[in-house]
Amino acid sequence: MHFVDARDLAVALDAKAEQPEAEFLAGGTDLMVEVNLSHHRPEGVIAVRRCEELLEQDSRRIGAAVTWARLERSPHRALAQLARTIGSPQIRAAGTMGGNVATASPAGDGLPWIAAVDAEIEVVSRDRGRRIIPWSDFFVGVKDTTLALDEIITAVVLPEQMPVSQEFAKVGQRNAMVIATVNCVVVRGDDGFRVALGSVAPVPIRAGRAEQMINAETSISEAVLEEFARLVAEEVRPISDHRSTEAYRRHASGVLASRLVQRCLSA
Amino acid sequence: MTTKERVADRIGESTTRPDGVAKLTGNFAYGSDLWMDGMLFGATVRSPYAHARLLKLDITPAVLMSGVRAVLTQDDVPGVPGFGQVEQDQPVLCDGTARYWGEPVAIVAADDAETARAAVAAIVVEWEPLTPVTDMDAASAVGEVFRDMVIRRGDADAAGSVVIEAEYETAIQDQAPLGPEAGLAIPDGDGGLDLYVTSQWVHIDHAQIIASLDLEPDDVRCHPVGIGGAFGAREDISLHIHVAMLALRTGRPVRMVYDRTESFAGHVKRHPARMRYRHEADDDGRLVKVTVDLVLDGGAYAHTSAAVLANAAFFTVGPYNCDNVFVDASVSRTNNPPAGAMRGFGAVQVCFAYESQMDLLAKELGIHPLEVRRRNALAPGDPMATSGQIVEGSLPTLRVMQELETIPMPDASIPDDPSLLPGGTGLTTRKQDVVRGVGYALGLKNLAFSEAFDDFSEVRLVLTPAGLEIHTAAIEVGQGLVTICQQIARSVLGIERIAWVPADTSQIGSAGSTSASRQTQMTGGAVYEAAVGLRTQILERYDGDELTNDGVYRAGELVASLAEITGEQWVRYRHPPTEEPDEFGQGNPHAGFVVAAHRAVVDVDPELGLVRVVQVDTVQDVGKALNPQAIVGQLEGGIAQGVGFAIMEELILKDGVILNPTFTDYLIPTLLDVPDVRSRVIEEPAHWGPFGAKGIGESPTISSTPAVVAAIRAATGKPLTRVPVRPQDIVGV
Amino acid sequence: MIVTLTLNGEERSATVAGWESLLTVLRDNLALPGSKNACEQGECGSCSVILDGENVNSCLVMIGDCEAAAITTVEGIAVEGELHPIQEAILEEGGVQCGFCTPGFVVTAAHLFAGDPRPNEAAIREAFSGNICRCTGYGALLRAFDALAEDGS
């Protein structure tokens, strides 16, 4: 196995260009599960845990190798909230935002936030340069993205105007180390509420019709919230599996979204 | 005259574990830490189907691989082709039909773990999938059962004025011990071998292993090794015969360690159950008649299903009096994972049902849940509702309830910290979304083995100038048996230095299983009896009147110093005999009983169906508290498993295939999920066993589950007839 | 490949394939079996080690990524045969039963108390939420950690 310890981006990009089948390793919290349990044996690994450019964070960017432990202290309220629910302290010390994006699990806890704030994914190839991909074009299916074989995810790029009011919640059957049954982010910006959910479709989704409905209201009454919750439950596309049922996921989607709207209003 | 020193760490004291330092520093050797230079690595090919015919098994590609030393199949089993404690019905390796998911098909030994895995992948297996039998009722209906039994006691025409009827279901709980199955087999060069394997009972393993290997008892020595938890999972054979076969074939030491998914596939589980209950009571809530139809799912092979069924049937009413009891019980043969022992052994499933019934009865009568239990409480001298056996010794059913009510309730206010609300750090739930509920439950369990089983434990005490040695094959699984036995010996002999010497199957007779809440009384009882015998022997030898850590005294004068005294005492200890019940389940099948009570306080978010268990309090009948700290450890640990079964622990099957055989999806409570526990004990001596102590390994789990569910019902008003309770069950979608 | 790392304060090298977990290499190549393998997917914490100052699951650390890393395992917590106060506290409170989770709790505790000598109970519960114990129900462990936090040294 060819192993590259990429301390800067140029090294990582060269390595990827030379061995396109090589896999990126950040926190290892997904890749190593494949190695341990599915006996996956990578032909090449490019480690970016200590890659300088990917560790940077500012008001417009979150470097791909920034760990959840660091994001627990993020100024973005919902991001900090969700970071605290990912795996365990040990997982958060290793796992990264970029890894969450790359794995693109339907249950990825970081993904509804990316969808809610309308963030973009920055990817770079040595030979083809940089692309900035809207989140909705990046996630295309269960663990499937439009990342090309020669590209690396370098950052999540945030919009200039970030909603100050933002709230996250996640349902699981245990209070730690649990994969989301439903996770949800609601933000409130100048354009009104935006609602994103995970674990209820192959990719993170926005509840567009519910957003439209609630943003057309002048005051948020109980009845409005009820109708909003109903629309959210209708818009999600969950499945039944060993973690929950379709019906429960629909129901919980509506309840969470409506509670988060209230939290945004009272924050 | 010498000053007599009273040795500490006797019974009644919370002495620290002798293995604690090694475990805290990483120096304690568990089965999976076994290592021998030059050893080979074993691996297993398993069935991907719950039911399938083996069409082709071609091991050639693996045999031809460099570094592969042996590839074995069922044809290579030298002796009895199957194993099992009672019936040897599980083939050592697939006999042409796979009957459950993960059933071992072939085994491999190779120079390293990676080659062994590659060899497993290289073996060509073709299957014809067959329709799996996955419904326990359907199997039972066509007579596919490991055992069926009836209990007929009293008048079938008896009738009560209040009738409570409901059907209950319990899912599959897994013991999920953290230490995986592991074994190291070392050939002795003489056709035999030494086997170091994670086990709860090396002698029962030994009998099955020599039969399948076609060897004489002396050829195989099974040694106890460090155990990372058991809870019933290690009472039946897993990789034992496999690793031994590979070692004998290759003539080299072979180690096998299961990964987590193999572990889920590779050990027996708690039987799932369906229970149809009808309680009839008079206007005061006194039970008149209980009628139960009980089906357990035994999975593909027999293992201990027959005994689990008997336990479920005999404890079907709980710690209550009732003169008319009618039970039809069976344990089905299906293509689901084989079931066997797990903490509570059949008493857990029925406790959920009978305690739910008692709550419904209390509700119907408008009385407190504990009041209906008081009115029916089983006491010493009463006949067991099922078997009619008169309860001997202590059974403080009323006192555990009384004491439970004296434990302070938690602060009545719902916490402000959202991480302490249902949903925890998921921030699903606001304070105003929370409803609190309180629930109660009692549980009854038999002590040690029942139904005329010849239950004994053998111990050899050897006094040498270096101190006392306790030789036994009894297995410490973490519960504190070593500590307790040392305390017992110290209390009787007054000697400070006591070493625990694990004996293999060639050196001593069986100690029985570390299960059935039995080792404190059985091996502890053997140590007690041996120590008393040894003390008598020594005092007689020196005509002394007192034995202390200094030596033997006569009339206050030291006449023999400890360093010069040697002695030995060998004891086979038995509990009072039990009987095979008659065809109607009547007789004296049990050696004694233990009772416990639990009170659970839960916070529920009914709209999302999320639960946080705030506090679970318990009062436990212990006979005599030999080590108060170890008791608290059992009470709290048992409650954590009971809480887990109440709200999260479940193996989920589809067509017999386990969908969640990993710790990602088989959820065990974390520190953010477990309640605060306040515990008390009642000391009313048992009629047998050391110092009147009772085994308490199982009771903490049995009634904590129904108490939690009762509390959720109290908060939500939902019937909740199944455990674990899932969010969708509370929401009702 | 050869990986060289600082292990419990000592420089150690191992010849590895590269993709193996740090846990496997600790247990099988470096004769340090104290870190336990119970799930190999970061869901139990039995293999917790401190890697460059962070408490991580060593089963999820690829050994190839450990070049020049500083690692503390459970074997490195007690100093010269003397139990660390954390180990003393767990022993005293009865926090050890089967002990399979114990190394992970010891390492996580060492990391927690090094960063915050007086964590409150909520912080303690959260800090250990990645360490599964199947035997004790956590009560004795919590009492041990509460006592340490109270003591504050």
Q: Give me the interface pTM, i.e. the ipTM.
A: 0.98
Average pLDDT, chain B: 97
User: From the list C27, C132, C140, which residue is nearest B668 (CB)?
Assistant: C132
Q: Closest Cα partner for B347 from B600, B636, B704?
A: B704
- Average pLDDT of the residues in B236-252: 98
Distance CA B163, CA B281 (A): 7
The tokens for C131 are 């360490």
CA distances from A63 to A25, A60, B196, B442, B522 (A): 14, 10, 50, 55, 62
Distance CA B733, CA A8 (A): 51
**pLDDT, tens digit, 9 for 90 and up, residues B558-573:** 999 999 999 999 999 9
Distance CA B396, CA B416 (A): 39
Q: Could you identify the residue written with the tokens 């799930």?
A: C39
The tokens for B21 are 């330092």
Q: Closest Cα partner for B346 from B221, B443, B439?
A: B443
Residues of A in contact with C65 (CB under 8 A): 3, 5, 25, 28, 45, 47, 49
d(CA A19, nearest CA chain B) in Å: 24
User: From the list A28, A91, A175, which residue is nearest C62 (CB)?
Assistant: A28
- Average pLDDT of the residues in B603-630: 98
Task: State the pLDDT at residue B5.
Answer: 62
DSSP summary character for residue B420: G
Does B698 score more than 70 pLDDT? yes
Q: Closest Cα partner for B375 from B362, B390, B364, B385?
A: B362
Residues of C in contact with B637 (CB under 8 A): 97, 134-137
Q: Closest Cα partner for C96 from B9, B226, B448, B501?
A: B226
User: From the list C19, C41, C42, which residue is nearest A42 (CB)?
Assistant: C19
pLDDT interval class at B4 (50, 70, 90): low
**Contact between A181 and B727 using a beta-carbon 8 Å cutoff:** yes
Amino acid at B151: I
pLDDT interval class at B2 (50, 70, 90): very low
Distance CA B347, CA B314 (A): 9
Give the residue on A whose Cα is nearest the Cα of C3.
A3
User: From the list C21, C55, C65, which residue is nearest A49 (CB)?
Assistant: C65
**pLDDT, tens digit, 9 for 90 and up, residues B71-87:** 999 999 999 999 999 99
Distance CA B567, CA B464 (A): 7
Phi, psi torsion values for B172, nearest 5 degrees: -90, 120
Distance CA B3, CA C26 (A): 51
Q: Closest Cα partner for B648 from B173, B47, B142, B29?
A: B173
Amino acid at B479: Q
DSSP summary character for residue B5: P
Give the residue on A whose Cα is nearest the Cα of C47.
A90
Residues of C in contact with B632 (CB under 8 A): 94, 139-140
Give the residue on C whose Cα is nearest the Cα of A90.
C56
| Residue ranges of E strands in B158-200 | 162-170, 182-187, 193-197
pLDDT interval class at B227 (50, 70, 90): very high
d(CA C71, nearest CA chain A) in Å: 14
Give the residue on A whose Cα is nearest the Cα of C55.
A90
Residues of chain A with pLDDT under 70: none
**pLDDT, tens digit, 9 for 90 and up, residues B151-202:** 999 999 999 999 999 999 999 999 999 999 999 999 999 999 999 999 999 9
| DSSP labels, A212-248 | HHHHT-SS--HHHHHHHHHHHHHH-----BTTB-HHH
Distance CA B257, CA B265 (A): 13
Q: What is the DSSP pairing of strand B254-257 with strand B324-332?
A: unpaired
Does B3 score more than 70 pLDDT? no
Residues of C in contact with A41 (CB under 8 A): 19
| Residue ranges of E strands in A60-136 | 61-63, 120-125, 129-134
d(CA A205, nearest CA chain B) in Å: 19
**Contact between B652 and A242 using a beta-carbon 8 Å cutoff:** yes
- Average pLDDT of the residues in B666-693: 98
What is the percent of chain B where pLDDT is above 90?
A: 98
pLDDT interval class at B123 (50, 70, 90): very high
**Contact between C137 and B674 using a beta-carbon 8 Å cutoff:** yes
User: From the list C74, C78, C94, which residue is nearest B629 (CB)?
Assistant: C94
Task: State the pLDDT at residue C81.
Answer: 83
- Average pLDDT of the residues in C23-52: 98
Give the residue on C whose Cα is nearest the Cα of A6.
C65
Side by side, the strands of the sheet bearing A129-134 are: A57-58, A61-63, A151-157, A120-125, A129-134
pLDDT interval class at B1 (50, 70, 90): very low
Distance CA B153, CA B159 (A): 14
Distance CA B542, CA B536 (A): 10
Q: Could you identify the residue written with the tokens 């119907």?
A: B364
The tokens for A60 are 């417009």
Distance CA A198, CA B134 (A): 33
Task: Name beta bridge partners: B289.
Answer: B280, B324
User: From the list B612, B669, B731, which residue is nearest A248 (CB)?
Assistant: B731
**Contact between A35 and C21 using a beta-carbon 8 Å cutoff:** yes
Give the residue on C whose Cα is nearest the Cα of A32.
C60
Task: State the pLDDT at residue A95.
Answer: 98
**Contact between C140 and B636 using a beta-carbon 8 Å cutoff:** yes
Task: Name beta bridge partners: B560.
Answer: B552
Classify the phi-psi angles of B336: left when phi > 0, otherwise alpha if psi is within -120 to 50, otherwise beta. Answer: beta
**Contact between B733 and A244 using a beta-carbon 8 Å cutoff:** no
Residues of A in contact with B731 (CB under 8 A): 248, 251-252
Instruction: Provide the number of CB pairs (under 8 Å) joining chain A to chain B.
Output: 94
Task: State the pLDDT at residue A267.
Answer: 75
**Contact between C18 and A91 using a beta-carbon 8 Å cutoff:** no
List of chains touching A (3+ CB pairs within 8 A)? B, C
Best of B15, B23, B632 to disrupt the C interface by mutation (most C CBs within 10 Å)? Answer: B23
Residues of C in contact with A88 (CB under 8 A): 42-43, 45, 129-131
d(CA A41, nearest CA chain B) in Å: 11
Give burial (CB, 10 Å; 0-12/13-18/19+) of A111: buried
The tokens for B131 are 């329709």
Q: How far is CA B340 from the centre of its chain?
A: 9
Side by side, the strands of the sheet bearing A192-198 are: A165-171, A182-189, A192-198, A205-206
Q: Is A265 on the interface with B (CB under 8 A)?
A: no
Single pTM value for the model:
0.98
Task: Collapse the DSSP code of B530 into the 3-class scheme (helix H, G, I; strand E, B; otherwise coil) and give the result.
Answer: helix
Residues 65-94 of C with CB under 8 A from B: 73-75, 77-78, 83, 87, 90-94
